Amino acid sequence: DPYSMLKPKEYTGTKEDPHIVPSIGNKRLVGCLCEEDNTAIVWFWLHEGPSQRCPSCGSHYKLVHHELPH
């Protein structure tokens, strides 16, 4: 799926199944809604390495290095 047109896999956000965030760098700004009906977004920096948790709700996110197609 070189153009990211397919629906992404859904993750549970647990330590065993974190939300996967592709990045071409070693960090990326991530926004978490925490609750389905929330109107405020919790923004935080996600860094390469072990999974990190949202500071508000505790959902797990993992940064995965992504190569750009040439």
DSSP-assigned letters across all residues of 36-65: TT--S-EEEEEESSS-EE-TTT--EEEEEE
2 is annotated as contributing to ligand binding: no
54 is in an annotated binding site: yes
Q: Please check if 57 is assigned to a binding site.
A: yes
User: What distance in Å separates the CA atoms of residue 47 and residue 61, rounded to the nearest whole number?
Assistant: 10
Residue positions forming the annotated binding site: 32, 34, 54, 57
Residue positions forming the annotated binding site for Zn(2+): 32, 34, 54, 57
